[in-house]
Chains A and B, each alone.
Chain A
Amino acid sequence: YHGILRKGQNPLFAFALDFACLCARANGVNFKGLTPYEKKKYVWKMLYIYMLGYDVDFGHMEAVSLISAPKYPEKQVGYIVTSSLLNENHDFLRLAINTVRNDIVGRNETFQCLALTLVGNIGGRDFAESLAPDVQKLLISSSCRPLVRKKAALCLLRLFRKNPDVVNVDGWSDRMAQLLDERDLGVLTSSMSLFVALVSNNHESYWSCLPKCVKTLERLARNQDIPQEYTYYGIPSPWLQVKTMRALQYFPTIEDPNTRRSLFEVLQRVLMGTDVVKNVNKNNASHAVLFEALALFPPSNIEGLTCIVCKDFILVMVVPWYVDVILQLIDKAGDFVSDDIWFRVVQFVTNNEDLQPYAALKAREYLDKPAIHETMVKVSAYLLGEYGHLLARRPGCSPKEIFSIIHEKLPTVSTSTIPILLSTYAKILMHSQPPEPELQNQIWAIFSKYESCIDAEIQQRAVEYFALSRKGEALMDILAEMPKFPERQDPLWKQSSLIKKAEDTEADTAEQSAIKLRAQQQSSNALVVTDQSPANGTPPVSQLSLVKMPSMSSENHNTAEQGVTQANGTLSVVDPQPSSSSPGLLGDLLAIEGPPGVAVQSEHNLVSGSEGALDAEDALALAPVGEQANTVQPIGDIAERFNALCLKDSGVLYEDPYVQIGIKAEWRAHHGRLVLFLGNKNTAPLVSVQALILPPTHLRLELSLVPDTIPPRAQVQCPLEVVNLRPSRDVAVLDFSYRFGTNVVNVKLRLPAVLNKFLQPIPVSAEEFFPQWRSLSGPPLKLQEVVRGVRPMSLMEMASLFNSFRLMVCPGLDPNANNLVASTTFYSESTRAMLCLVRVETDPADRSQLRMTVASGDPTLTFELKEFIKEQLVSIPTALRPPVPVPTPQAQPTTSPAALSSDPGAMLAGLL
């Protein structure tokens, strides 16, 4: 038979012969006569042949009989081969059920492992019924070693799948919670798989396990108590992390705020900590975790605030890849790429300067292809219009060449694309100032050709661009690069939904409606407003264009295409009645809406400008400039606006009939990025615009260039970078002035870059808190003060006040219910991240006084934080302020200091 084998005949036949011969030689005519070594050898051979794809229909009995062998090696072979060869319905398996059971309940743990593995792999219903109680006992037994328990967990999973009744939900939710406290990561990994199966079946019953999962994640994310053997390329068991996050995805919401916060922190750590590194394995493992973390993000789980944190991360690491992938996607399957996907690319590129030349180059490369999808024409034209000039020095990328390659595509595209191309031409013209006459004539010829186009959109653009481009330099202002898109609408969310989309395209509609829903909830509605001065003699009916991000606006959702056409054109008429936006959407108004008269009465101005009830502080903020009386009154209460902005990150800082200054801020550790939105509300330009920052010594501030003129109805964005050097309560002041007609207006505005913006709430447990608290033994690191004149508020109110200032109240740490303990991390360049602990003891009999103790590792920080909290507790920013009559424009900063004492920032602003 060796000859047969050599000839390449069926090896099974050869083996069967061999087997038969052997049995015969051993003369038992049965398998039993063989030596243990021979038995093992032949059973393995059988498995090998089976693996090669030959049906082995003999020897099963022999394999099963090995299970009852007394010695481990044979038993092991029997178990492993049986579980590979047989399935749960095989009759022979029933023969083994007793042996298996004996091994499971027996004392020998290696036998237990083998038996549990077999049942875990091929156990059927009859196993489920007879073995489930024993398996459960092993799993929760404290005397069992981890190596048995981890197998028991997965064995139970198999039995549960065969017969869900074997796991009694009522009894198991508690046991499961205990299991998840497990320290051994092998047992935990297996138990987590079991848990995922249980939760996917019925999450309501396992609420109590949710905090345990979060704890497990925390333990992994912080690398606490993780043996070296379980870290994979520096990542604490990525598989367990993935599994745990998967389990959490089955819970629709997390109600307990502390758990939610902990989870949020873990996710934040995952997001911030994931970097692209050289090592492929580390990369893959960390991204496996990252993607699972992203899947936990949809809004039903965690509020949108997470997204602010994640944004930078996404921009840094995912975007170049994302842009690449989407461009490829458009190239290969343009028909399936909906418009909002390419809008997204544009948005990402616009918001990420580093990416712009790259994206433009990519776009340029795609245009070289002989036939490209229309969507690709749109993206490429848009990107090259905006950023083509960044490529100017490369071969084939001169304005002329870019123009001609884009123009080649024009005859092939539909009317919806032509407006984009026209905008691109106008932009090319704008970027090549002074233009080459030849190029200019070519483009003008195109504009004049389309001036009589039947499509209104195209016609209008052609007319306008033609007129504008004749103004030469002035074109620059109007066609300036698109400002960054507001990013409050989390890119991450979208990102994760895109990832999901790849898996599940059918969910599309659901997602769409979710986006809509979210858009409705969002008040963010940044508008970019541009007006065209009627000087060219062709004033269109309404030049006010509301440019909304398509995926962000509830109203424009269905007209997304229109939306971006506007974004592209910047000049088109879109919404002739901006007031049609719902009041809710105008909530935070980084926008200018309506003519000045309307704005004065717009609904958010609780204090109307005309009958301006202004308080002393505000008047002080309006310092007169030179001889010129300051006749322009602010709309709304400046101090109130400032106070509101101390608590939130976007809103209006200042408004008067001519100008509105909006602010939008992002904070991360000791860095902050503010964007000032200077909006001209009028039909005439604001001139001599000046914005100076008067920085306190503890902040490093960098304001980008503010243009001297703000064109009519235009909004200018000025980014402002903030670095917190050390703890201080001083406030930065913006000295803003402009001239409108004969009015010179100068205002000094406090900027909401205040101490609490550099705080990051952090929960501490009792075990963490008390040692810290004790180690900071006294002044100057720990300061105590009795504060009097505290405004009356309940403990609840105080707690929420603390939370709003990013001091996290930790309930339950102080046994006295009248006391409050809070913790936070302060970030500055000198202190780095510094844990701060606060304890407030109140007297239920006298709410006007309390004793406050503040501790941190830095004396200045302790002092400043204590004073800061005191100010918050004592002053009542809104209620204390009685409306006072409009002060004379010349109001000097001599008003009684008492009115100011409560607010040092205001005092500073006044004295400047």
Chain B
Amino acid sequence: MGIRFILMVNKQGQTRLAQYFEYLTIDQRRALEGEIVRKCLARNEQQCSFVEHRNYKIVYRRYASLFFLVGVDNEENELAILEFIHLLVETMDRHFGNVCELDIMFHLEKAHFMLEEMVMNGCIVETSKSNILAPIQLMDKAS
């Protein structure tokens, strides 16, 4: 049970953030991301948000131009992950205010800090937005 990777990809298929919780070589990553992006971006709104790919289940959600794709193993509760994506987006939204693709592009480190506070080793660590954002806010204050 667990999250294997989290990807944020825009409509054009460019990766905006990638976090893996299992080691894949760069070639494997490239291949996997290409396949998943092709598969998921081709789907329409009516189609299910869960797709099986290789030995993963991909749970994805689209927010404006950005796709959030989470690869989980077979044991994981997909609906819970679907809402976890939303929690992630809400958390980013709280921090950036009307979060958009550019926020993530230009503040990649912050997106990483948030993810780091939320997921560790493929397991959910924290779901309280204020706890997630606390370290980042501290740093913002310090700088």
Contact = CB atoms under 8 A, between A and B. Distances in A.
A285 B124 contact: no
A230 B77 contact: no
Contacts of A285: 79-80, 83
Given A53-B30, A53-B33, A151-B120, A284 B79 contact: yes
B125 A150 contact: yes
Max chain A CB contacts within 10 Å: which of B29, B83, B128, B139?
B83
B79 A291 contact: yes
Contact of B113 (A80, A230, A289): A80
B112 A151 contact: no
Contacts of A230: 127-128
B83 A52 contact: no
B30 A186 contact: no
A310 B143 CA distance: 56
Interface in B8-28: 14-15, 17-21, 23, 26-27
Contacts of B26: 50, 53-55
Given A72-B139, A147-B131, A288-B79, A154 B123 contact: yes
Contacts of A500: none
Contacts of B95: none
Among A50, A51, A120, A229, chain B packs the most CB atoms within 10 A around the CB of A51
A347 interface: no
Given A53-B29, A189-B126, A281-B86, A242 B80 contact: yes
Interface residues of A, number: 56
B130 interface: yes
B83 A232 contact: yes
Given A117-B116, A189-B127, A292-B77, A239 B21 contact: no
B74 to A, nearest CB: 7
Interface in A206-227: 227
Contact of A186 (B15, B17, B121, B125): B125
B109 interface: yes
Interface in B97-121: 108-109, 112-113, 116, 120-121
Given A84-B19, A150-B125, A151-B120, A238 B83 contact: yes
A190 B127 contact: no
Nearest to A47: B108
Interface in A109-155: 110, 113, 117, 120-122, 147, 150-151, 154-155
Contacts of B80: 238-239, 242, 285, 288-289, 292
B82 interface: yes
A185 B87 CA distance: 16
Interface string A29-55: 000000000000000100110111111
B115 to A, nearest CB: 9
A87 B23 contact: yes
Contacts of A730: none
B108 to A, nearest CB: 6
B109 A121 contact: no
A44 B108 CA distance: 8
Nearest to A194: B123
Contacts of A378: none
B84 interface: yes
A237 interface: yes
A150 B109 CA distance: 22
A529 interface: no
B129 interface: yes
A287 interface: yes
Nearest to B105: A48
A50 B15 CA distance: 11
B143 A73 contact: yes
A186 B83 contact: no
Interface string B60-103: 00000000000000100111101110110000000000000000
A88 interface: yes
Contacts of A44: 108-109
A44 B105 CA distance: 12
Nearest to B27: A55
B123 A190 contact: yes
A152 to B, nearest CB: 10
A653 interface: no
Size bracket, chain B contacts: 35 or more
B8 to A, nearest CB: 10
A189 B143 contact: no
B1 interface: yes
A289 B79 CA distance: 9
Given A55-B26, A288-B79, A189 B124 contact: yes
A246 interface: yes
Contacts of B79: 284-285, 287-288, 291
Interface string A185-203: 1100110010010000000
B116 A157 contact: no
A157 B120 CA distance: 10
A516 interface: no
Nearest to A119: B121
Contact of B15 (A51, A76, A120, A284): A51
B121 A120 contact: yes
A182 to B, nearest CB: 13
Given A84-B19, A87-B23, A189-B124, A284 B83 contact: yes
Given A88-B23, A185-B128, A239-B84, A51 B18 contact: yes
A77 interface: yes
Q: Most A CB atoms within 10 A — which of B84, B108, B113, B128?
A: B128
Contacts of B21: 121
Given A44-B109, A291-B77, A291-B79, A157 B123 contact: yes
Contacts of A238: 80, 83
Given A157-B121, A284-B82, A503-B74, A229 B23 contact: no
A121 B23 contact: no
A344 interface: no
B139 A242 contact: no
Contacts of A84: 19-20, 112
Contacts of A289: 80
Contacts of B86: 281
A232 B126 CA distance: 12
B135 A110 contact: yes
A158 interface: yes
A49 B56 CA distance: 25
A15 to B, nearest CB: 15
B127 A239 contact: yes
Contacts of B1: 193, 196, 246
Contact of B77 (A72, A110, A242): A242
A240 B128 CA distance: 12
A77 B120 contact: no
A110 B6 CA distance: 24
Contacts of A288: 77-80, 82-83
Nearest to A285: B83
Contacts of B120: 117, 120-121, 151, 154-155, 190
Query: Counting chain A CB atoms within 10 Å of each CB, which of B27, B87, B129 scores highest?
Result: B87
Contacts of A284: 79, 82-83
A240 B123 CA distance: 11
Contact of A53 (B15, B74, B123, B127): B15
A254 B87 CA distance: 34
Given A47-B112, A190-B120, A288-B79, 7 more contacts: A80-B113, A117-B120, A154-B123, A189-B126, A238-B80, A238-B83, A292-B80
20 contacts: A51-B18, A52-B14, A53-B33, A55-B26, A55-B27, A76-B113, A84-B20, A113-B135, A122-B23, A150-B125, A186-B128, A189-B126, A190-B125, A240-B127, A242-B77, A281-B83, A284-B82, A284-B83, A285-B79, A292-B77
Interface of B: 1, 14-15, 17-21, 23, 26-27, 29-30, 33, 74, 77-80, 82-84, 86-87, 108-109, 112-113, 116, 120-121, 123-131, 134-135, 139, 142-143
Nearest 8 pairs between A and B by C-beta? A288-B79, A87-B23, A229-B128, A193-B123, A288-B80, A53-B30, A55-B26, A154-B120
